[in-house]
Amino acid sequence: MHQKILTGDRPTGSLHLGHYVGSLMQRVALQDTASQTILIADMQGLTDNGHNPRKVADNILNVLADYLAVGIDPERTVICLQSSLPALAELTMYYANLVSVSRLERNPTVKTEIAGKQFGRSIPAGFLSYPISQAADITAFRATLVPVGEDQLPMIELTNEVVRKVNQVAGKAVLIECRPLLSKVPRLPGMDGKAKMSKSLGNTITLGSDEAEIRQAVKMMYTDPNHVRIEDPGTVEGNVVFTYLDAFYPDEAYIQQLKRDYRHGGLADSRLKKILEECLQETLSPIRQRRAEVIDDKARLISILRSGTEKARLETEAVAREVKASFGLDVLG
Ligand code: TRP
């Protein structure tokens, strides 16, 4: 079956290496085989930046430049902006009446995020309900396949619940269910070994990082704290340098050999880090170059986003109109 793909990112910072292995590489490959849309989810970005909308606004073109830099081709992938697609907000309002607050509170990803953000008792209503808006995104494009990280699986589950409820209320199949497409590379940890990579924690390498920043980041990387002398046996599990080598180094057999040597003892952290640094410099250098080329041409970026958003507007309006009509609310047409 021909797959219709929707993915998206909140524009709250430049994209980083975690995004690159987790989803961007996959999106570049998918644009040849399926019809793909990427949504810059600025409205979702506002759900935890409601009082600082500038942060979100300022990152829209940054994220777009990241897409182009890694090789997403606007001729083959539609790139669009959530806040300029009112049909998504309209669908969100319809769906919000079919999902209970307790269902939203059970979402494990949202739960973890809420705990991390220290909202206290002031959880924004928009934040708690962003999975509903994500269901609107996915269904508005009639997506059949959603490439996501594992943390997004609860969103897919909720989306399919909403699809079934809407179809039940409408008495016919207005919307279609979707499947997640998990990336083969597991989530990259931050350079300090923390599970979450984020710019605010300062433990990430963004796609526009320069040579010195990459060098510095690798130097700071968490290895095995008990690997003190070169000849000591070292631990590979949880060693961030190895996790990154697994994700980025093309020659797997060579990495297996390095792991054996490291476990045995005699392989220095500095040597490992040098191998990783060279590999990351090589990976990021063409991306940084392309990024620098596109980021200065604001007019071109705007025009790419505008034409993608116009295409998306027709598509999403048609779905919103159908849902509305299926509820009998098309009294005025
Ligand atoms: N929730 C995603 C993130 O955290 C972004 C997103 C918004 C998304 N709408 C989407 C992802 C639709 C896939 C499909 O980055």
Does residue 224 share a domain with residue 185?
Answer: no
Q: Is the CB of 42 under 6 A from ligand 1?
A: no
Q: What is the CATH number of the domain that holds 254?
A: 1.10.240.10
Question: How close is the Cα of 219 to the center of ligand 1, in Å?
Answer: 32
The model's pLDDT over 149-191, given as tens digits with 9 standing for 90+, comes to: 888 999 999 999 999 999 999 999 999 999 999 887 777 888 8
| Domain match, 24 and 149 both | yes
Cα 103 to chain centroid distance, Å, stands at: 23
| Range in 6-10, 130-134, 220-224 with the lowest mean pLDDT | 220-224
Average pLDDT over residues 83-111: 97
pLDDT at 91 over 90: yes
One domain, residues 54 and 170: yes
- With contact defined as beta carbons under 8 Å apart, do 17 and 214 qualify? no
For 212, the domain range is 208-292
136 lines ligand 1 (CB under 6 A): no
State whether the beta carbon of 10 lies less than 6 angstroms from ligand 1.
Answer: yes
Distance 54 CA to ligand 1 centre (A): 20
Clarify whether residues 33 and 89 are in a common domain: yes
pTM exceeding 0.85: yes
Do 120 and 214 reside in the same domain of the chain? no
Q: What is the pLDDT of residue 1?
A: 60
Question: Mean pLDDT of all residues in the chain?
Answer: 94
Residue 199: per-residue pLDDT: 67
- Residue 25 predicted with pLDDT over 70: yes
Model confidence pLDDT, tens digit, residues 199-238: 667 788 999 999 999 999 999 999 999 888 999 999 999 9
Assigned token pair, 212: 């010195």
The verdict on 218 and 320 lying in the same domain is no
- If one counts the domains in the chain, the total is 2
Nearest CA to ligand 1 atom 6: 8
pLDDT of residue 200: 65
pLDDT above 80 for 140:
yes
- Ligand 1, atom 15: closest residue by C-alpha: 9
CA–centroid distance, 216 to ligand 1, in Å, is 31
122 and 171, same domain (yes or no): yes
CATH of residue 86's domain is: 3.40.50.620
| Ligand 1 neighbour 156 (Cβ under 6 A) | no
Per-residue pLDDT of 313-329, as tens digits, reads 999 999 999 999 999 99
pLDDT for the residue 187: 77
Token pair for 33: 């085989």
